[in-house]
Structure formats: C-alpha cells, structure tokens
Structure 1
Amino acid sequence: MKKKILFILSLATLAFVSCDKNDDNDGYAEYLVAKPLVISKADFANSVDIIAPRPIDESGKVYTYKDYIFVNDKYKGIHVINNSNPEQPVKIGFIRIPGNVDISVKDDFLYADSLMDLIVLDISNITDIKQVKRLENVLHNNVFWPFEADIIEYENHDYETEILVGWETVTERRLVEEAEKLRNGGGIFFEDALANAADGGTTGQGGSLARFKIVDDYLYAVDSHNINIFNISDLDNPQDLEDVYAGFDIETIFNRGNHLFLGSMRGMYIYDISSPDKPTFVSEFQHGTACDPVVVDGDYAYVTLRGGNGCGALESGLFIVDISDIENPELTKTYPMDEPYGLGIKDEKLFICDGKSGLKVYDKTDIENLKSLNHFKDIITFDVIPLESHLIMVGDEILYQYEYLDDKIKLISQIGLN
C-alpha cells in the first residue's frame, strides 16, 4: 500500500554551502538558484507524447537498449538516439514525460517514472512508440530536492490544480544580504505537496546513477525511503507489490546476482532478493553524509562520494569496500576525487565521471594502487555505461562514445544534445 508523506523542511537544515560566488564591492554575488517546475493536473494526466527531436535542457541519466541510447532530459522526458553506428549517432525523437528521471527496458517495453506514476511504453517500433499502461500513484517521494542549489525559490502554488514535477537550476547574481536571508531563513511547508505530486528476457543497461533496475520478472525502483517493487512477468501490465522500507536518502540501485546494492547519502545498503518480491536487509556500509552511487565487481564495491553543498560536508572521493563477507562489508581503500558522479567497470578498467574534472580511467588490477590510464580533463562528466563493445558517457549536454584499447580508451564520437 502506498503512503502519503508530509514534508516540513527548513533551508537551514539542508546545510547548503555556497558555490564560488565571486564577491565584489557592489554587494552582489553569483548563486545557484533552483526554481520549481509545475504543470496543471489536467495536462499531467494526458502528458506523454512522442515528438520530433528537440534540444536538451538539462542532461540527466543515460540508458542503452539494443541499437538505441536514451538520454533523460531532467524532469521533462527522454531523447531517443539511433546508435547502430556509434561513430555517427543520430537523434530520432523525444518522448515527453513530465517529471521523468529514470527508465528501464525489457523485451521492447520501456518503464518510466512520471512523478508518482509508472508509464509503460511499447517501443517495438521505435518510429511508432505507444503508451500501453499508466499506473497512477504507485511511486512517491519521487521529486528529489535540488541539494546542490544555494537557494531554493519556492512560491505558493494551487495544489488543487497544479503539480510540482521537478526543479530548474540557474546561476543568478543576487544581492548578498538578501540571498543570505533566503539561504538561512524560514522554513518551507509542503502540505502533501510531494505526496500528491507526485535476466530472463532482453533488458537494457543503465549507469550507476540509476534508480530503476529490472531483475528477471521484477522491476525495482528506489525512492528516497523505499524499494518500490513491480512484477512485470506480464510486460504490458505490471503489478504493483508492497514497498520495502530501506532507510533515508536512497539515491541509486545496482544489482549483482541475488543482491541489490543501494547507494544513499548515508551509506551503502545491501538487500537479498532470493525471494524477489520481498527484498530483505543483509548489511550496510556507513559513511559520512555524501551523494553516493555504487557499482560492484568481484569481491569489491566501488562507491563514489561527493561532498559539498547539499550532498554533505564529507570530502569527495572513491571508496573501495570489501564485500567478500556480504554481511560485514569493510572499507579497504580510499582515493581523493573532486566532484565524482557516475562510475562504471569493464574488466580491469574503472571509469569515474569526476564532474568538471573530467573522465578518469584507471587500471584496478591492484586496488591498493590504482593506475591512471586516461584523464580527459576538458569536459564535464555525469553518467557512464561500459558496454561490451565500447563506452558511453553523457555530460554537459554532450553524448560521448569511446572505444576500448589494451591499456587506454579513445574517443570515437561525440554529439551535442542541444
């Protein structure tokens, strides 16, 4: 049974840390400002649409399925790219889905979040995508706070007629005295705002930042507190099962065998899915507050922690955790990073999207002494997927693809999404 949540938040409790504001003598500075995106309830109910390619506003997560790449346009929908020739990818369409952040695909059925609803699309004919199902109010806590913003501008909206579907972040010059009052002052009261807002088969592959994961006949979708579970054995008619409470600030999900690895701002949680409809807690690895995706290979979990702003006060870095005893994960080694986001593994290569510090590639043969193979410095990086044939990465509204070499990687194409 889905539960309504009441949110009472204070900007002071979010512990925002300002970005580099370039203070000057006129009393103004630059701030990252988050503004709400709203849509009328009438439009939201009939909002899914397939249109021609359009410029991207803010690139989010990336997902691959067969010869196609799907790039999330944060809170707005999905860009569809034909990647049958990785050297010349072609944008072919845009799926408009308000409030969308994540997708997952199995046997030509695409599952996407639209705020609190789960959308099912038939993509067997990529030129004639059809919506086949909409499960209403099966997801919650699905509008994540823009933790990295310095200021959240929240205006009163009529929740009888409008829905909050996400946030747009922009850099603005503000009078320092007034901005600091907004940063440190009053509470924000959301009276049911977010609650009312909202391997059998061929599956696709997402990056480490994914919150959706298909395992056999089940779709697992994490929100900030729960694992939402859907039986998708009937692909076009998923069944909403009982949620499993998993903790606080859950951000990502990764699967290996009979275990789910959940990345949160507080730690890594491990769940057993031997009974797939009832995940059970196994263990956790705790760390200081930080944004935290995770991938697993062999006896180790690789966790990138991003501190600063709303992600927490912890310094950023790569944490390598020994999970050979799955019930007692232990930290083995840490490496400093600047602002890491997604990461991935292909054989002995470890790929880390280190934000404005670029894409970093390591040989992880010796985890006690990672060897740098490549560092692409002059790009902004966000999410990465290591495929069998090549590497896919998205960042700063650009899609990059690299081919694997014996001891390095080489860029084979890039396409601007805007």
Structure 2
Amino acid sequence: MKFKYFLLLLFFISIWSCDKKDLNFELVQVAIPELMTKADFRSSVAITVPEKIEETGKIYAYKNYIFVSDVNKGVHVIDNSNPELPKAIKFIKIPGNEDISVKDDFLYADSATDLVVFDISDINSIAFVERLNDVFSIYDYDIPIEAQAVDYGKVDLENNIIVGWTVTTERRKKIDNQFIDVVLQNGALASSSAESVTGQGGSLARFQIVDNYLYTVGNYQMAIFNIQNLSSPVLANTQNAGWNIETMFQAGEYLYLGSTNGMYIYSIANPSSPEYISEFTHWEGCDPVVVDGDYAYLTLRGGNDCGQLESVLEVIDISDKATPKLASRYELENPYGLGIKENTLFVCDGTSGLKLFDKEEPLDVKLTKTYDDIQSKDVIPLENSLLMVGGDNLYQYKYIEDGVDLISSYSLR
C-alpha cells in the first residue's frame, strides 16, 4: 500500500515539474529570411511587356500615366490618356519594391536596400539609369507584422538580400523582451519651377519629392536624397524618424509621418536635415495621414495586425505644430487610405466601401455619401478626377455636385 502511494506521489511531482517547466516556454512567431545573392538581385531589374498583377500595392499618378505597385515585385505602367479605357503598357520589374516617386520623367524606386532610377521620358523605351547600393535597411520595410522574433541564423547580409520571409511557430524559452531577436536598424506637391512636373501618390506612400529632395521613410529611419541632378541622386542624410512609421505626407514646409502609435511632425525648412517638431500619440493602430490647413486627418484601423479593436477617423488640430491636439473622432469600419479635394474628405473604408465626408467644419465632419458596393484601399484626388485602388481593381471617378460618378473600373488581373 505504501509503495502505491509512493508511486502516486512521484506521478504528481512529475506533472508539477512538467507544468513548471512549460511555464518557462512559450510559442513564438518567428520570421526566417528568404535570400538571394546581391549580384543576382541587382541584375534582375528589367522592363517587360505587361503582366498580370499578383498583389496590388500602392498607386501613383504622373502626367497621363498611372503606376500600380506589385508588392515586392515591381511597378505596372498604365496609359491613362483615355480614362474610360486605361491600358497596361509596361511592367518595370524591381524586386523588393514598395514605393516610387517621379519628377520630370525620372522615376525613383526602392529595391530592398537600394534606390534605383529610371528615365521614363520615352514610356515605350524606359531606361534604367542609376542604382545607389545599400542606402536603405531592408529590416525597416519587410519584417512580417505578425513576427515576434527574427531568426537570422548564419545569414551573410554582406553578400545576400532578404527577398521574403517564412513565418513559423516555435517553442522558445521566455525572455523579458520577446522582440529581442528583431534587428532594429499626399497631396499635390509644389514644383521647383514652372516647367517642373512632380507626380502624386496616395496616403499610403513612404516617398515624397519636395523641390530638389526625395524624402523616404522606413519603419524607423528617414533617408533624404538630393535629386538636383535628377539622373544621379545623392544620399544627403539619414536619421531616426520615430517608431513603426508606415506613411509620409507633405504639406508646406512640414512632413507628417503616420506610425502605428502616433503622428510625427518634421520641419523641412532645412531640406537636407528635417527637424523633429512634435508627436501626437494615439493607441496602436495602422495609421495613414493627410493634411489640409490647420488640421490633419488620420485613420486608425483595428484588427489583429494593427493592435487595436476600434477603427476611427481622427481630426487633429495642428495650428500649433509644437502641440498637436485631438479635435474630434468618428467611428469607421475598416479604414485604409484617405484624401482631400476642397471640402470633401475621401476615406477608403476597406470592405465597407468609399465614404465621403464634408469637412467644411473640421470640428464637425459629416458623412455625406457611401459607396458600399466596392472595396477600397487608397485614393488620389487629382484635379479633375479621383483615382482609387481596391481589391484587384483600379477605379476612376469624376467629381459631381453631390459625390463622384464612375468613369471606369479596370481589372488589374
């Protein structure tokens, strides 16, 4: 009998020991990099015939052309000289690409760690003209948002480029900081002259051209390029930008950076060295921002990837750039990008469609119209039309008195 109780005691002790041991471990989402040699990566830029898009990214407008990014793969060039019948004409293969900006027929694009330049003066004969190596940190752009740790193992980052990630679930010993393995490393723009032409991106952009400078932002770092010689940009400066930066918008002499937990304001009075002015802090959420006058408008999207439960539109009083203040807040469903045309605020509310707000009184923004039969991600309010991307479609609208009217719907696939 005593022996039986002894065995029972050993059984409970073993269970307790296992439970205690398990308390020291947790399941962690680990990102493992997929690699390509830098030599192969840099030789893979190409200009090809149109291709079907795989994953729709951001949109950019320049002259009679619309550029649509294919996430991490390149840029699709669409001839929009006839908005009723847009036509894909070229694909610029740029591995590791997320953003572009264009000035006076020179297109600037990120390619993982590099900045590449193309001459698009002859759209039928686009020419690659320049590459600046290792000016960006790949870790700023591409670590999957769900990753809690990164396993670089024996990765040789001197000779290799990270071109993707595989996320796996691993059982790891608990540590105080679960992110210890992670390496941390817009409206129409003013032209520098009457003849100069700069393109226009949406509110999800990370690139902005202002006069003779190209401003780019990653998750934590801003890189500033002097583009006075358009074909030969020069890296003028790099500096810390903030925390988890997602977007950048320029208005006047200021850059407004949208992050997952706030909005940063930088002065570009000294264009080669932006000066931090202030920060408006909010709860964690995906956050593009646009600015008009004394107010900034930003959307916060809830959900698992964005950290918060609520989705809202916030209006921020920026009349005093040093002390931005929340002016008002409105509930939304699933917001992404947004844009402004005169007194109309266009908000892409994801699967809930495109929403139009009257912002004549910024402290009392009113919903005036909802187009709920479409999926919307980002908009570019041009002078005579509204461009919008959503799902696998590019939409174009003309402005009418009480809203917008569809010009065309173009399938990107």
Query: Is the TM value for this pair above 0.5?
Result: yes
C-alpha distance in 2 between matches for 1:406 and 1:263? 31
Q: Which SS does the other structure have where 2:351 is aligned?
A: helix
**Contact 1:48 1:98 (8 Å CA) reproduced:** yes
Cα 1:189–1:235 change in 2 (3 A) is: same
| Residue 309 (str. 1) matches residue 307 (str. 2) | no
Structure 1 contact 150–183 (Cα < 8 Å) conserved = no
Please state how far the C-alpha of 1:144 moved relative to its aligned partner. Answer: 2.9
Flag structure 1 segments of 5+ consecutive residues without an equivalent. 1-9, 15-32, 170-178
Identity of aligned residues (%): 51
d(CA) in 1 for partners of 2:84 and 2:150?
42
Root-mean-square deviation (Å): 2.8
Residue of structure 2 aligned with 1:340, choices 335, 347, 356: 335
Q: Which amino acid aligns with 2:282?
A: H
2:50 equivalent among 44, 48, 53: 53
Between 1:302-311 and 1:253-262, the stretch displaced more is: 302-311
* Cα shift readout 1:83-102 (whole Å, capped 9, x = no counterpart): 01111100001000000000
Counterpart of 1:96 in structure 2 is: 93
Q: Which residue of 2 aligns with 1:163?
A: 161
For 1:261-276, list aligned pairs within 5 A. 261-276=256-271
Equivalent residue for 1:24? Answer: none
Count of residue pairs brought into register by the alignment: 376
The question of whether the paired residues in 2 share the 8 Å contact of 1:230 and 1:241 is answered with yes
1:335-361 Cα offsets, whole Å, 9 max, x none, are: 111221110000011111111111111
SS of the residue corresponding to residue 270 of structure 1 reads: strand
Maintained 8 Å contact 1:69/1:82: yes
Cα distance, 1:239 vs structure 2: 0.8
| Aligned match of 1:41 | 38
Structure 2 residue runs of 5 or longer lacking an equivalent are 1-24, 186-190
1:146 to 144, 147, 156: 144
Structure 1 Cα separation of the partners of residues 292 and 354 of structure 2: 20
Partner of 2:209: 214
- 2:63 is matched with which residue? 66
Matched, 1:83 2:64: no
Distance (whole Å) between structure 2 residues aligned to residue 183 and residue 213 of structure 1:
42
* Corresponding residue of 1:299: 294
Structure 1 residue ranges (4+ consecutive) displaced by more than 3 angstroms after TM superposition? 10-14, 33-40, 149-162, 166-169, 181-192
Instruction: Point out which structure has higher relative CO (alpha carbons under 8 A, 6+ apart).
Output: 1
Change (3 A) 1:77 1:152: farther
* CA deviation profile, 1:112-137 (whole Å, cap 9, x unmatched): 00001000100000011111100000
TM-score by length of 2: 0.84
Q: TM-score, normalised by structure 1?
A: 0.83
Q: Of 195, 202, 207, which residue of structure 1 is paired with 2:197?
A: 202
Q: 3-state SS of the aligned residue for 2:40?
A: helix
Counterpart contact for 2:78–2:90, Cα < 8 Å: yes
The CA deviation at 1:75 is 0.5
Instruction: Measure the CA separation in 1 of the matches of 2:370 and 2:66.
Output: 24
Contact 1:374 1:409 in 2 (8 A): no
Shift of 1:38: 4.3
How far apart, in 2, do the equivalents of 1:79 and 1:157 lie?
A: 35
Q: Deviations over 1:52-83 (max 9, x none)?
A: 11111110110000000000000000000000
* 1:75 counterpart SS class: coil
Structure 2 CA distance for partners of 1:401 and 1:166, relative to 1, 3 Å: farther
The answer for the alignment partner of 2:7 in structure 1 is none
SS in 1 for 2:264: strand
2:35 and 2:350 mapped to 1: Cα distance? Answer: 28
Q: CA deviation at 1:151?
A: 9.8
After superposition, the C-alpha distances for 1:124-174 in whole angstroms (9 at most, x for unaligned) are 000111111000001113433332x599998978546653224599xxxxx
Partners of 1:184 and 1:379 lie apart in 2 by: 43
Q: Give the greater-gyration-radius structure (CA).
A: 2
